[in-house]
Structure 1
Amino acid sequence: MASLSRLQKLQYSSDEFLLIGVRQSWQYFILVKAQSSILGNNF
C-alpha cells in the first residue's frame, strides 16, 4: 500500500513537471512569435 501511494505521488509529480514544461515552452513560443511579428519576420 505504501509503495502504491509512493507510485501515485511519483506519477503526480511527473505529470506536474510535464505540465510546467508544456506551459513554459508554450509561453516561449508565444514570446518568439510576438518578437518575430514585431520585427516583421514571418515565423
Structure 2
Amino acid sequence: MLRTIVMGSCVSVQGEFVQSLPDGRVKVRVGDRVYVGRPVQAAA
C-alpha cells in the first residue's frame, strides 16, 4: 500500500508502507531507502 509522509515543513515522500511507529510516525520504502515522517491526512 502506498502512503505519503511529510518530513519537515515542505518535503513529502510517497512510498510503500513499512511500519507504524508508537509516536505516530510512519516508515515508507522508496527503492532501497526507508524514510520516516508524519502521515498526510486524507482530504475531506
TM-score exceeds 0.5: no
Greater share of helix: 1
Q: Higher relative contact order at CA 8 Å, sep ≥6: structure 1 or structure 2? A: 2
**Which of the pair has more CA radius of gyration?**
1
What band does the TM-score fall into relative to the shorter chain?
under 0.3
TM-score, structure 2 normalization: 0.12
TM-score, normalization: structure 1? 0.12
